[in-house]
Amino acid sequence: MFVLLRQLHRVLRQAGLPRRSDIRSLALRHIDAGSCNACEHELTAASAPSYDLQRFGLDIVASPRHADALLVTGAVTTRMAVALCRAYEAMPEPRLVVALGDCALGCGVLASADELAAPLDELFPVDIRVPGCPPPPDAIAAAILARL
């Protein structure tokens, strides 16, 4: 077993692959707080093979307890505000908040509806801002990867 591991390390070194300590990752918990779903389509495209965010260490996880960053799409509706706060509280520290799309940034076409709780950055500190309506997959990838 030890010999196999040593040979594997030699092969990785010869191939010039990054060392384990050089690899960074970010687990994202996505919550749709009240979007029109176009932002979700772009996020799905960013995870599809042509952009393939996973190869950069970005992954969407099912539980906020496993997440490093809360990724929010859409304007925060009154019905989703409590769920959003619960997810944020459940995340381990240090935690990031990503506002994906103009609505999450409080300036989109849905930003002035009566049923909104508050702009996202009044609920939590927003660390990564991805403007656009919707932002394209390469902009999503670039904004998040710049923070890694």
Q: Which two tokens stand for residue 6?
A: 């040593």
Taking the complex as a whole, the smallest distance from the CB of residue 46 to ligand SF4 amounts, in Å, to 14
Rounded Cα distance, 12 and 34, in Å = 45
Taking the complex as a whole, the smallest distance from the CB of residue 118 to ligand SF4 amounts, in Å, to 16
Q: Would you say how long the chain is, in residues?
A: 148
> Of these, 26, 36, 72, 80, which contacts ligand SF4 (CB under 6 A)?
36
Whether 88 contacts 124, CB under 8 Å: yes
Site string for ligand SF4, 42-81 (x = CB under 6 A): -------------------------------xx-------
Give start and end residues of each alpha helix (H) in the chain.
Answer: 2-15, 38-47, 78-90, 120-123, 137-145
Taking the complex as a whole, the smallest distance from the CB of residue 62 to ligand SF4 amounts, in Å, to 22
Q: Which is nearer to ligand SF4, 90 or 136 (CB)?
A: 136
Closest to 34 in 3D by CA, of 68, 87, 84, 69:
84
DSSP reduced 3-state for 100: strand
> Of these, 28, 30, 102, 106, which contacts ligand SF4 (CB under 6 A)?
102
Judged by the rule CB under 6 A, the positions of this chain that interact with ligand SF4 are 35-36, 38-39, 73-74, 101-103, 108-110, 133-134
